[in-house]
Amino acid sequence: MGTTYLELKGLSAAQVRAAIRSGDYAGHTAGLGAGCLQANVVIMPEAHALDFMRFCQRNPKPCPLTGVSDTGNPMMQTMGHDIDIRRDVPAYNIYRDGALSESVTDIASLWQEDMVAFALGCSFTFEHAVQAAGISLWHIQNNTTVPMFRTSIDTVPAGRFSGPMVVSMRAIPEGRVDEVTRISRLYPLAHGAPVHVGDPGKIGIADIARPDWGDPAPIGPGEVPVFWACGVTPQVAVETAKLPLCITHKPGHMLIADVAEDAEVPVIRPQK
């Protein structure tokens, strides 16, 4: 039967990862692992890893680098205790020659000795603080994946990696946008403050009801759309780079680390 999302809410990051590794849970991670950093994942051959690291360094807003594995070692030692990047993400996207080939829940059979895994901060991380302030987030309340959109905002290229920034959207009461901005700014490893507030057309989004990833979310009366840089940006760059093989998380299905959610630099939380 597997483990449900509601059963995982309130459990520790390690407990959530255990359910994922065992194959009991393969859903989205928004609202899970309170207190811990959530991370986007990109995995590629070492031959392209330096250019990708440059891409992250040049685009820190959508690509806040929080961890890098040793070549060929699937254990993300700087992200937590016993994190196996091959099995501890709920779902992975497999890209071949820049095209999405398939989504899977385990990449052990695809792991190669020359692979390097990157972890990049995710905006799911600051959502706990936003909710603690009494601001409801529709996708969490309705157990859906946050909507994500390609924009007209260009990233800074590095080697074969380039493309537009991707953003995630949350509808926020108009009178509390400044408050949410202050809260999210405290989470530099999770994209920090928004990149845009209001009219989606100004950043190249034609229809806010049709996200490129995730699920549609309504903009209610008195609410405005607020957009944060998103760690799906590297997946667009991977499409452009057309690497023979590259593995990412499936959008919305993140790695939950043992790093404190409000860390300014990655520091593994003590085990309890």
Cα separation, 61 vs 254, whole angstroms: 18
Is residue 219, in this structure, part of any structural domain at all?
A: yes
Question: Does 269 map to a domain?
Answer: no
Give the model confidence (pLDDT) of 41-99 as tens digits. Answer: 999 999 999 999 999 999 999 999 999 999 999 999 999 989 999 999 999 999 999 99
Position 45 in a domain = yes
Whether 110 and 205 map to the same domain: the answer is no
Does residue 131 share a domain with residue 109?
no
| Each residue's pLDDT tens digit, 123-178 | 888 898 999 999 999 999 999 999 999 999 999 999 999 999 999 999 999 999 99
Which residue segment(s) compose the domain that 175 sits in? 124-229
- Residue 270 pLDDT: 54
Phi, then psi, of 103 in degrees rounded to 5: -120, 135
Residue 89 covered by a domain: yes
Inside any domain, residue 270: no
Q: Is residue 268 part of a domain?
A: no
Task: Please tell me whether residues 36 and 92 are part of one structural domain.
Answer: yes
Query: Do 92 and 10 belong to one domain?
Result: yes
Does 83 map to a domain?
A: yes
Across the range 234-257, mean pLDDT stands at: 95
Query: Are 38 and 171 part of one and the same domain?
Result: no
CATH number of the domain to which 211 belongs: 3.30.2040.10
- Specify the pTM: 0.90
Integer CA distances (angstroms), 219 to 144, 208, 212, 226, 238, in order: 15, 9, 17, 10, 31
Q: Are residues 97 and 160 in the same domain?
A: no
Q: Are residues 221 and 146 in the same domain?
A: yes
Degrees to nearest 5, angle at CA 213 with 211 and 216: 45
Considering the domain architecture, whether residues 187 and 206 belong to the same structural domain is answered as yes
| Residue 115, in any domain of the structure | yes
Domain shared by 171 and 222, yes or no: yes
Q: 248 and 148 in one domain?
A: no
Burial environment of residue 67 by CB neighbours within 10 A (0 to 12, 13 to 18, 19 or more): buried
Pair (131, 115) in one structural domain: no
Shared-domain flag, residues 75 and 63 = yes
Q: How many domains does one find in the chain?
A: 2
Q: What is the pLDDT averaged over residues 16-29?
A: 96
CATH number at residue 58: 3.40.1640.10
Could you please report the per-residue DSSP string of the chain?
Answer: ----HHHHTTS-HHHHHHHHHTTS--S--TT-STTEEEEEEEEEEHHHHHHHHHHHHH-TTT--EEEEPPTT--B-TTT-TT-BTTTSSS-EEEEETTEEEEEES--TTT--TTEEEEEEE-GGGGHHHHHHTT---HHHHTT-PPPEEEEEEEPPPBTTB--EEEEEEEEEEGGGHHHHHHHHHT-GGGT-S-SEES-GGGGT-S-TTS-SBS------TTEEEEEEE-TTHHHHHHHHHT-S-EEEEPTT--EEEEEETT-SS--BPPP-
- Which pLDDT score, from 0 to 100, does residue 189 have? 87
